[in-house]
Amino acid sequence: MMQKLSRLAVSAEGFVFNPASGDSFQVSATGLRVLNALREGQAEDQIAHSLAETYQVELEDARRDVAEFCAALKSFGLTS
Amino acid sequence: MKMPYEKPIVTKLQTGWMNKYGRTFAYARKVRTEIDGVGIDDLVGQFGSPLFVYSERTLRRLYRQMHSAFSTRYPNVVFGWSYKTNYLGAICALMHQLGSWAEVVSAMEYQKARALGVPGEKIVFNGPHKPRAALERAVAEGATINVDHLDEIYDLEKVSLQLGRPIHIGLRLNLDAGIYPQWSRFGFNLESGQALEAAKRIKNGGKLRVHGLHCHLGTYLMETAPYQRQVEKLVGFATDLERTFGFALEYLDLGGGFPSKSRLKGVYLPPEVALPSMDEYAETIAQALSKTLPPGEFPRLILEAGRALVDEAGYLIATVGAAKRLADGTRAYVVDAGVNLLFTSYWYKFNIELDREVGGMNEHSVVYGPLCMNIDALDEGVALPPLARGTRLILSPVGAYNQTQSMQFIEYRPAAVLVGERGQVDVIREAEDLSDITRRERVPTRFASPPQTGP
Amino acid sequence: MRPLKIGLSGINAVDNPGPGIGVARSLKEDPDLQVQVVGLAYDAMEPGLFMDWVVDKSFIMPYPSGGGDAFLERLLYIQQHYGLDCVIPNLDAELPHYIKWARTLADRSIQTFLPSMEQFRLRGKDRLVEIADRIELALPETRAVTNLEGLVQAIDDLELPVMVKGSYYKAHRCHTLPEALTRYHELVAEWGYPVIVQEVVSGDELNVVGLGDGAGHHLGLVGIKKLSVTAQGKIWTGVTVRNEAVLEAADRFVRAYQWRGPFEFECMVQGDRVNLIEVNPRFPAWSYFATGVGVNLPARLVRHLFGMPLPALPEYEAGKLFIRYTYELVTDMASFQKAITRGEVP
């Protein structure tokens, strides 16, 4: 997972460019946080915990959202 | 203090879609927390979801506006409330209280109007299927009957013979007013001479008198000019009738077709830009009447108002039950109301409002209904922020043709409530339960024992 | 004097170009007019966003068809944060919205110079007969159809080949029935009913770009002929012409309807017979052609709108050529990224 993610160009404003494919993406503010955490190698569960600690969201919902975000990354070919 | 949360989202940028606002930004991001002062939460908490909600204030306002648009320009105007648009008893009763007659197109609607206390002489009976018994009743009760075809003329002549007195009828015509498609399946065609032929036939029969003309051009007419041509042709025909057969015109029924601010699919412009105002329609019709009618003559002008009076007064509250991602990455939601309740979503694109502020980026989304059928989509392309389960969508305008065409297929039909002018909420149709589905069914006794468990 | 900040849309200078860049260049080329061009874009890949020598500042706009509030709010935001004295909308789809909001915008000191809604509605191809009658032009025989039966009947009546057109946009010359059927379905899917079936008239297609002052006078007319067009039917090379019959017809059009704002007038000329093909209530994509021969209509619009001195109307020469060409721009992702994340460039 890490290898592909680490190649992405990610701006502080949530603009993501995949130099391997030429595709561009946009992530929301929390999406950027999750993406950066993934790039640092954090586990999904760890990221969900950190979301729940920072934001007004239940851990269970955060887990589901992170899992869905990861699935979306995969469907866009950003992770294998 | 924790920060407000929004779902993490990643979207792929695609040429033609690279607009941070999304294509339907304004609709998608409209928040509606209440209807006429009553909270969406309160409504759903009390009456469940989905829920049809009607605004009495809007109904009264639309009636007032339309009525004054016409009555200030022509002295003899009658509205015939088009039952098929929405025949909930409470809505009909309000329309009658405001002064509308009933415009019905079937025996069932006729019975419903009578059951609501509308006297026969304030009912306009239209439609291509009027069973003999219904005709007999309508004649006996003095309803205005607009005849659709020759067989109905034969039937009415027999009724006249039975009663031993002549019957006054209206002729329904279809004509070319320059609109597409021309509705030619109802009534007698004017240009081909069919209508004149029918009048001759009626005159020769000696039992019926033509005292009115009816013509309904179509639905959702976005221009005023066809009404002008309609009036010119109808009044011209009335003059012929009087001259040739001595039938004097007492009323002109111009039908309906006035649009509401609903967004027709396949029409490029949004309604607030594309549609003339009701005053413009009224002005066109009144001017055409004053130009064509003999001076000092004001036959009753009947307008079959339906959509224009009720559509914008109706809302449907639905609830997001699930969010999913389709194989191609498209975001999709499953809500608890679909084409079973909003039949007109095949033709109209509804406003979708949310019951709360939702942060985050808009995504191109599809909104599916609850039916286990592929066709059940309320909106196949709307930009929505990430919605959590339980978010309420408020769809509007849905007051016209949805309640009456809603069906029971695999789901119950929900409650309908009316929000009164002082914020009181009345249930005007209870939510259905299993008894509504099974009440008319009969299971032969030989099938009556339930399946046994075990061998 | 501070420069006028003029918003304009259609800065999509692509293979089917919007008029915006031509209008922007025209404004910049009037030596006495101090203008800053504000590009109003609907997609982060519209080339104008990257052409900083023509467009000074660009904003991504919400689609007006989504409903008025967001769109108006965006214009007011631009006015507040950058300045916006005037908007010249150049895209068909947004015109009715601007026309409807013209007064609201004027109340907020954002000027427009547009036809009325009634004038705008005349552009419907089913209304052309009205214009043609009034200004005494011929009109190719035309049928509006709403079903396949009607289409087949119309083709029977008019005989192949026929033009099959959307009621507002797009036109295709069809030589066979299957071709007409295919176009019919495409047009219905995109633009709805009715579909217009029209007799093909031969002759020279001559077009006029003009500007009406709203009081029955024109502020400039330039006639051209398209010498070659792209596969999409867009002009690639052209030549100026002075055909008095066509220019007079355009003048009669302005006078008869007291036309206000820019317009494009399309005719098919066959000897003495001038057939009216189309009227577009905006600048055409080739508007810079007129500027290039001395008739700077966008600048004249702005001068007229702001009560500035209007130079005498110059005569233009027939026989000037218009050559469109391709050109490439290489840049880094910064502007694109800003357009995506902030919705404005730079």
> pLDDT of B156-196, one tens digit each?
999 999 999 999 999 999 998 877 667 788 999 999 999 99
For B323, name the nearest residue in chain A, comparing CA atoms only: A68
Q: Examine the pLDDT at B25 and tell me if it is beyond 50.
A: no
- Do the domain assignments include residue C133? no
Q: Which of C153, C178, C199 is the last residue of a domain?
A: C199
B224 touching chain C per CB within 8 A:
no
- Nearest-angstrom CA–CA distance, C20 and C34: 18
What confidence tier does B93 reach under pLDDT thresholds 50, 70, 90?
A: very high
- Looking at residue C231, what is its pLDDT? 84
- CA B243 to centroid of chain Cα atoms: 38
In three-state secondary structure terms, B370 is: coil
Answer yes or no: do C341 and A26 touch at CB < 8 A. Answer: yes
In three-state secondary structure terms, B70 is: helix
Residue B209 neighbours by CB under 8 Å, 6+ apart: B166, B167, B168, B169, B202, B247
Answer yes or no: do B320 and B357 share one domain. Answer: yes
- Do the domain assignments include residue A69? yes
- Nearest-angstrom CA–CA distance, B39 and B114: 36
CATH label of the domain that carries residue C16: 3.40.50.20
The count of structural domains within chain B is 2
Answer yes or no: do B404 and B386 share one domain. Answer: yes
Residues written for chain C: 346
Interface probe, candidates A10, A15, A25, chain C, greatest C C-beta count within 10 A: A15
The conformation of residue B253, written as its DSSP 8-state character, comes to E
- Looking at residue B50, what is its pLDDT? 98
A55 touching chain C per CB within 8 A:
no
User: For residue B388, which residues of chain A lie inside 8 Å, CB to CB?
Assistant: 61
Residues written for chain B: 455
Question: Which positions 349-388 of B are in contact with C (Cβ < 8 Å)?
Answer: 351
- Looking at residue B298, what is its pLDDT? 95
- Looking at residue A2, what is its pLDDT? 67
* Mean pLDDT value across residues C294-298: 97
CA angle C290, C275, B178 (to 5 degrees): 115
- Nearest-angstrom CA–CA distance, C135 and B398: 44
For A28, name the nearest residue in chain B, comparing CA atoms only: B9
- Nearest-angstrom CA–CA distance, C240 and C116: 30
- Looking at residue B180, what is its pLDDT? 66
Measuring CA to CA, which residue among C137, C113, C135, C139 is closest to residue C125? C139
Do residues B372 and B405 make contact, with C-beta atoms less than 8 angstroms apart? no
Strands C35-41 and C57-60: parallel
- Looking at residue B28, what is its pLDDT? 42
Answer yes or no: do B194 and B286 share one domain. Answer: yes
Strands B188-189 and B300-303: unpaired
Q: What are phi and psi of B128, to 5 degrees?
A: -85, -10
Answer yes or no: do C177 and C97 share one domain. Answer: no
- Chains in touch with A (≥3 Cβ pairs < 8 A): B, C
What confidence tier does B27 reach under pLDDT thresholds 50, 70, 90?
A: very low
Answer yes or no: do C33 and C87 share one domain. Answer: yes
- Structure tokens belonging to residue C340: 């995506």
For C339, name the nearest residue in chain A, comparing CA atoms only: A15
Domain with A53, as residue range(s), is 2-75
Q: How many beta carbons lie within 10 A of that of residue C110, not counting itself?
A: 22
- Do the domain assignments include residue C131? no
Determine the distance in angstroms separating the CA of B11 from the nearest CA of chain C, rounded to an integer.
Answer: 12
- Looking at residue B259, what is its pLDDT? 85
CATH label of the domain that carries residue C310: 3.30.470.20
Specify the DSSP element, H or E, that contains B364.
strand B363-368
Answer yes or no: do C336 and A14 touch at CB < 8 A. Answer: no
Determine the distance in angstroms separating the CA of A67 from the nearest CA of chain B, rounded to an integer.
Answer: 10
Answer yes or no: do B292 and B319 share one domain. Answer: no
Of A28, A51, A57, the CB nearest to B361: A28
Q: How many beta carbons lie within 10 A of that of residue A37, not counting itself?
A: 18
> Which residue has 């039937």 as its token pair?
B155
- Do the domain assignments include residue A49? yes
Strands C142-145 and C195-199: antiparallel
User: For residue B386, which residues of chain A lie inside 8 Å, CB to CB?
Assistant: 28
Buried b (16+ CB within 10 A) or exposed e, B103-128: bbbbbebbebbbebebebebbbbbbe
Answer yes or no: do C341 and A24 touch at CB < 8 A. Answer: no
* Mean pLDDT value across residues B424-442: 96
Chain segment B206-218, per-residue pLDDT in tens: 999 999 999 998 8
Answer yes or no: do B222 and B322 share one domain. Answer: no
Q: What are phi and psi of A55, to 5 degrees?
A: -115, 165
C83 touching chain B per CB within 8 A:
no
Question: Which positions 166-195 of B are in contact with C (Cβ < 8 Å)?
Answer: 180-181
Answer yes or no: do C221 and C172 share one domain. Answer: no
Measuring CA to CA, which residue among B344, B399, B398, B397 is closest to residue B91? B399
**Largest Cα span, chain A:** 36
CATH label of the domain that carries residue B128: 3.20.20.10
Q: Which of B304, B322, B356 is the last residue of a domain?
A: B304
- Looking at residue C65, what is its pLDDT? 67
Answer yes or no: do C210 and C223 share one domain. Answer: yes
- Chains in touch with B (≥3 Cβ pairs < 8 A): A, C
- Do the domain assignments include residue B454? no
Question: Which positions 92-131 of C are in contact with B (Cβ < 8 Å)?
Answer: 93, 96-97, 100
A58 touching chain C per CB within 8 A:
no
Answer yes or no: do C333 and C260 share one domain. Answer: no
Specify the DSSP element, H or E, that contains B307.
helix B307-310
- Do the domain assignments include residue B13? no
For A15, name the nearest residue in chain C, comparing CA atoms only: C337
Q: Examine the pLDDT at B23 and tell me if it is beyond 60.
A: no
- Nearest-angstrom CA–CA distance, B326 and B432: 33
- Do the domain assignments include residue A42? yes
Chain segment A27-77, per-residue pLDDT in tens: 988 999 999 999 999 999 999 999 999 999 999 999 999 998 998 898 888
Q: How far is CA B185 from CA B85, B239, C196, in A?
A: 20, 24, 24
Q: Examine the pLDDT at B110 and tell me if it is beyond 50.
A: yes
The count of structural domains within chain C is 3
- Looking at residue B367, what is its pLDDT? 95
- Do the domain assignments include residue A70? yes
Burial class (CB in 10 A: 0-12, 13-18, 19+), B193: exposed
- Do the domain assignments include residue C171? yes
- Looking at residue C63, what is its pLDDT? 79
B168 touching chain A per CB within 8 A:
no
What confidence tier does B24 reach under pLDDT thresholds 50, 70, 90?
A: very low
3-state SS track over chain C: CCCEEEEEECCCCCCCCCCHHHHHHHHHHCCCCCEEEEEEECCCCCHHHHCCCCCCEEEECCCHHHCHHHHHHHHHHHHHHCCCCEEECCCHHHHHHHHHHHHHHHHCCCECCCCCHHHHHCCCHHHHHHHHHHCCCECCCEEEECCHHHHHHHHHHHCCCEEEECCCCCEEEECCHHHHHHHHHHHHHHHCCCEEEEECCCCEEEEEEEEEECCCCEEEEEEEEEEEECCCCCEEEEEEECCHHHHHHHHHHHHHHCCEEEEEEEEEEECCEEEEEEEECCCCCCHHHHHHCCCCHHHHHHHHHCCCCCCCCCCCCCCCEEECCCCCCCCCCHHHHHHHHCCEEC
- Structure tokens belonging to residue B349: 């694109």
* Mean pLDDT value across residues C2-22: 94
Answer yes or no: do B331 and B263 share one domain. Answer: no
**Mean pLDDT estimate for chain B:** 91
User: For residue C97, which residues of chain B lie inside 8 Å, CB to CB?
Assistant: 273
Quickly list H helices, B186-224: 194-205
* Mean pLDDT value across residues C109-136: 87
- Nearest-angstrom CA–CA distance, C280 and C298: 16
Domain with C250, as residue range(s), is 120-125+202-323
- Structure tokens belonging to residue B455: 């061998």
> Which residue has 């949310």 as its token pair?
B354
- Do the domain assignments include residue C130? no
* Mean pLDDT value across residues C239-243: 95
For C333, name the nearest residue in chain A, comparing CA atoms only: A17
- Looking at residue C167, what is its pLDDT? 72
C63 touching chain B per CB within 8 A:
yes
Q: What are phi and psi of B257, to 5 degrees?
A: 95, 0
Percent of chain B with pLDDT over 90: 73
Answer yes or no: do B329 and A75 touch at CB < 8 A. Answer: yes
Domain with B425, as residue range(s), is 25-53+312-434
The conformation of residue B14, written as its DSSP 8-state character, comes to -
CATH label of the domain that carries residue A70: 1.10.10
- Do the domain assignments include residue C110? yes
- Looking at residue B118, what is its pLDDT? 98
Buried b (16+ CB within 10 A) or exposed e, C44-69: bbbbbbbbbebbbbbbbbbbbbbbbe
User: For residue A13, which residues of chain C lie inside 8 Å, CB to CB?
Assistant: 337, 341-342
* Mean pLDDT value across residues B263-285: 78
**Mean pLDDT estimate for chain C:** 91
CA angle A39, A40, A45 (to 5 degrees): 90
Interface probe, candidates C9, C14, C40, C43, chain B, greatest B C-beta count within 10 A: C43
B267 touching chain C per CB within 8 A:
yes
- Do the domain assignments include residue B145? yes
Q: Which of B304, B322, B354 is the last residue of a domain?
A: B304
- Nearest-angstrom CA–CA distance, B210 and B222: 31
Kindly report which listed range (A19-33, C180-194, C294-308) carries the lowest average pLDDT score: C180-194
- Looking at residue C122, what is its pLDDT? 82
The conformation of residue B248, written as its DSSP 8-state character, comes to P
- Looking at residue C40, what is its pLDDT? 96
- Nearest-angstrom CA–CA distance, B373 and B385: 25
Answer yes or no: do C210 and C183 share one domain. Answer: no
CA atoms within 13 A on the CB side of A42: 17
Chain segment B383-418, per-residue pLDDT in tens: 888 898 999 999 999 999 999 999 999 999 999 999
Answer yes or no: do B11 and A57 touch at CB < 8 A. Answer: no
- Nearest-angstrom CA–CA distance, B174 and B249: 18
Answer yes or no: do B329 and B265 share one domain. Answer: no
Answer yes or no: do B316 and B342 share one domain. Answer: yes
C135 touching chain B per CB within 8 A:
no
Answer yes or no: do C168 and C207 share one domain. Answer: no
Quickly list H helices, chain A: 2-7, 29-39, 44-54, 59-75
Interface probe, candidates A26, A42, A58, A78, chain B, greatest B C-beta count within 10 A: A26
- Looking at residue C186, what is its pLDDT? 85
Q: How far is CA C230 from CA B130, C12, C203, C237, C320, in A?
A: 59, 16, 19, 9, 20
Residue C330 neighbours by CB under 8 Å, 6+ apart: none
- Structure tokens belonging to residue A20: 């391997």
**Paired residues of B427 in beta bridges:** B417
CA angle B305, B310, B311 (to 5 degrees): 110
Q: How far is CA C345 from CA B19, B250, C20, C39, C74, in A?
A: 13, 67, 16, 9, 15
The count of structural domains within chain A is 1
Do residues C8 and C24 make contact, with C-beta atoms less than 8 angstroms apart? yes
Answer yes or no: do C343 and B20 touch at CB < 8 A. Answer: yes
Answer yes or no: do B261 and B393 share one domain. Answer: no
| The dihedral sign for the CA sequence C22, C28, C29, C32 | positive
- Nearest-angstrom CA–CA distance, B360 and A55: 14
Measuring CA to CA, which residue among B283, B124, B282, B150 is closest to residue B212? B124
Q: Give the CA dihedral B38, B41, B42, B48, nearest 10 degrees.
A: 120
Measuring CA to CA, which residue among C209, C215, C207 is closest to residue C282? C209
Do residues B335 and B318 make contact, with C-beta atoms less than 8 angstroms apart? yes
Kindly report which listed range (B41-45, B79-83, B258-262) carries the lowest average pLDDT score: B258-262
| Residue of B349 and B60 predicted with greater confidence | B60
- Chains in touch with C (≥3 Cβ pairs < 8 A): A, B
- Do the domain assignments include residue A80? no
Answer yes or no: do C146 and B181 touch at CB < 8 A. Answer: yes
Answer yes or no: do A17 and C333 touch at CB < 8 A. Answer: yes
User: For residue B272, which residues of chain C lie inside 8 Å, CB to CB?
Assistant: 68, 100
What confidence tier does B143 reach under pLDDT thresholds 50, 70, 90?
A: very high
Interface probe, candidates B10, B13, B17, B19, chain C, greatest C C-beta count within 10 A: B19
For A14, name the nearest residue in chain C, comparing CA atoms only: C341
- Do the domain assignments include residue B388? yes
CATH label of the domain that carries residue B333: 2.40.37.10
* Mean pLDDT value across residues B20-27: 47
Q: What are phi and psi of B117, to 5 degrees?
A: 90, 10
